[in-house]
């Protein structure tokens, strides 16, 4: 029952509630319409005020534009009047400028003519001065060439004198040795190795200086040393035959073989090795038939010096020398002469040991002497003279036709001192032995 009463009460209250809600909505709409009307009226009033202000500003602008146009027209009239006056002035200036231009053209022409005249005069003076200078230079060059020619002729004459004076103290040196080669089959073949070079007397007692690679060529041959290390070559070092012939002496037989019946050689017993600088062997590696081989070969250094001793009844004429111990006897561009037997046996067409001099200059002096004189195999061990006739070096190696390497004479003189000391000791020992033998 209560539930039904509450339902009836809700059904009665619903129409009343809706009526009140409609009244409130209508009132709200009226208020919105009133507010919108007020806003529209305010906006229209503001817009009218803005239009009024715009009309006033346009009126003011038209007035100002009219006044500015009038001012501009007045200014243009003034400019036109001023321009016309300037035009008149320019016309007057143009007339004056034409006259001045004609004057300038005339002045320019005069100036050009004056400059050309002065240039011609200066050019002529410069040409005259240049001709005088060239004549002076020509004279100096002729004098210098004449001096150089005279010096060269004097050098040639001096070296010619040196060559003739000391030619008999130069010796053709020959070395011969045998070695055997073994093939894979075990068959041995014997071969002959040779060396040719030059030597020169350094004492009256028969001491001859030459290069070690001339008398012991196998030590300097990399290919031969490598094959020896491989066991394919056996060098018979006890088979070495050394021979020397004095310059001017017949040294070849009629069939162009070395004549060992004359001269000095180890077979005749009148020649021996008196001393040599220590061997400086270096180990190198090469590949033969795919196998790496270590072998020892002599270094190309200052130890490439040997002294031979020949037994002669006649005293030799030792070559004068000048060492580098004190003041250097050579400097760059000094003239020098290499004296020897280039090409060895093959260079002796008549079978006579005839020397062949070669002139050149010094390139530089360091540990060795570099010269331009032609050094050819066969010159090795020969003397190198300075223009004062003193031996300063030993022709040793060649790198090109105009670059020869010479050892300083100091190395040979030092070795000679050691050889003489050894000979003196040996002589003293022999004398002591003889004394003891006689006392017994």
Measure the CA angle with vertex 410, ends 406 and 412; round to 5°.
Answer: 80
C-alpha–C-alpha distance, residues 423 and 416, integer Å: 10
C-alpha–C-alpha distance, residues 156 and 161, integer Å: 8
Q: Distance of CA 305 to CAs 301, 322, 334, Å? A: 9, 17, 25
- Classify 209 in phi/psi space as left (phi over 0), alpha (psi -120 to 50) or beta: beta
Q: Does the domain at residues 164-426 carry the CATH identifier 2.40.10.120?
A: yes
Q: What are phi and psi of 182, to 5 degrees?
A: -115, 125
- Kindly report the number of other CB atoms within 10 A of residue 97's CB atom: 12
- Kindly report the number of other CB atoms within 10 A of residue 310's CB atom: 23
Residue-level pLDDT at 252: 92
Q: What is the mean pLDDT of residues 349-366?
A: 93
C-alpha–C-alpha distance, residues 155 and 333, integer Å: 13
Q: What's the chain's Rg over C-alpha atoms?
A: 60
Residue-level pLDDT at 299: 95
Average per-residue pLDDT in the chain? 87
C-alpha–C-alpha distance, residues 36 and 102, integer Å: 91
C-alpha–C-alpha distance, residues 132 and 86, integer Å: 65
Residue-level pLDDT at 82: 80
Residue-level pLDDT at 5: 63
Q: Could you report the per-residue pLDDT of 147-170, keeping only the tens digit for each?
A: 655 665 678 899 999 999 999 999
Pairing of β 281-288 and β 291-298: antiparallel
Confidence band for 46, pLDDT divided at 50, 70 and 90: confident
Domain residue limits, the chain? 164-426
Per the DSSP assignment, residues forming a β-bridge with 335 are 361
Measure the CA angle with vertex 376, ends 381 and 225; round to 5°.
Answer: 70
Q: Could you report the per-residue pLDDT of 215-239, keeping only the tens digit for each?
A: 999 999 998 998 888 888 899 988 9
Q: For residues 358 and 378, is the Cβ–Cβ distance under 8 A?
A: no
392 in helix, strand or coil? strand
Pairing of β 369-371 and β 271-276: unpaired
Closest by CA to 379, choosing from 170, 235, 219, is: 170
Residue-level pLDDT at 259: 94
C-alpha–C-alpha distance, residues 183 and 163, integer Å: 49
C-alpha–C-alpha distance, residues 361 and 383, integer Å: 15
Q: Which two tokens stand for residue 165?
A: 């004076």
Residue-level pLDDT at 4: 62
Q: What are phi and psi of 196, to 5 degrees?
A: -130, 145
Q: What are phi and psi of 301, to 5 degrees?
A: -135, -165
- The label of the residue with tokens 């088979």 reads 239
Q: Could you report the per-residue pLDDT of 365-405, keeping only the tens digit for each?
A: 999 999 999 899 999 999 999 999 999 999 999 887 789 99
H-state helical runs in 167-291: 212-215, 222-230
Q: Could you report the per-residue pLDDT of 106-121, keeping only the tens digit for each?
A: 888 888 888 888 888 8
């Amino acid at each position: 029952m209560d539930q039904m009463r509450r339902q009836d009460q809700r059904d009665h209250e619903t129409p009343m509630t809706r009526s009140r809600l409609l009244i409130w909505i209508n009132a709200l709409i009226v208020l919105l319409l009133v507010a919108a009307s007020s806003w529209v009226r305010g906006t229209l009033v503001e817009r009218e005020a803005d239009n009024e202000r715009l009309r006033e500003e346009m009126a003011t602008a038209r007035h100002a534009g009219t006044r500015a146009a009038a001012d501009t027209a007045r200014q243009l009239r003034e400019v036109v009047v001023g321009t016309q006056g300037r035009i008149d002035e320019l016309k007057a200036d143009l007339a004056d400028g034409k006259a001045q231009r004609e004057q300038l053209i005339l002045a320019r022409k005069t100036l050009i003519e004056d400059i050309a005249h002065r240039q011609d005069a200066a050019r002529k003076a410069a040409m005259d001065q240049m001709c005088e200078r060239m004549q002076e230079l020509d004279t100096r060059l002729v004098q210098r060439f004449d001096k150089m020619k005279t010096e060269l002729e004097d050098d040639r004459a001096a070296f010619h004198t040196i060559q003739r004076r000391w030619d008999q103290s130069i010796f053709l040196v020959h070395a011969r040795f045998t070695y055997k080669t073994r093939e894979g089959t075990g068959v041995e073949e014997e071969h002959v190795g040779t060396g040719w070079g030059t030597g020169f007397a350094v004492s009256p007692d028969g001491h001859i200086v030459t290069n070690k690679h001339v008398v012991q060529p196998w030590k300097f041959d990399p290919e031969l040393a490598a094959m020896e290390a491989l066991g394919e070559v056996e060098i018979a070092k006890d088979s070495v035959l050394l021979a020397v012939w004095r310059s001017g002496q017949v040294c070849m037989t009629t069939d162009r073989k070395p004549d060992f019946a004359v001269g000095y050689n180890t077979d005749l017993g009148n020649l021996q090795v008196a001393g040599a600088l220590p061997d400086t062997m270096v180990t190198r590696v090469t590949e033969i038939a795919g196998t790496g081989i270590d072998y020892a070969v002599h270094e190309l250094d200052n130890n490439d010096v040997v002294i031979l001793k020949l037994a002669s009844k006649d005293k030799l004429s030792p070559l004068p020398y000048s060492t580098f111990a004190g003041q250097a006897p050579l400097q760059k561009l000094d003239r020098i002469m290499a004296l020897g037997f280039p090409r060895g046996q093959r260079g002796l067409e008549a079978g006579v040991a005839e020397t062949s001099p070669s002139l050149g200059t010094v390139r530089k002096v360091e540990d060795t002497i570099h010269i331009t004189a032609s050094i050819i195999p066969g010159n090795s061990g020969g003397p190198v003279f300075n223009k004062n006739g003193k031996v300063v070096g030993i022709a040793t190696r060649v790198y090109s036709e105009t670059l020869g390497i010479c050892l300083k004479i100091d190395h040979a003189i030092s070795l000679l001192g050691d050889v003489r000391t050894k000979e003196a000791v040996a002589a003293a020992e022999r004398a002591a032995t003889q004394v003891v033998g006689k006392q017994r």
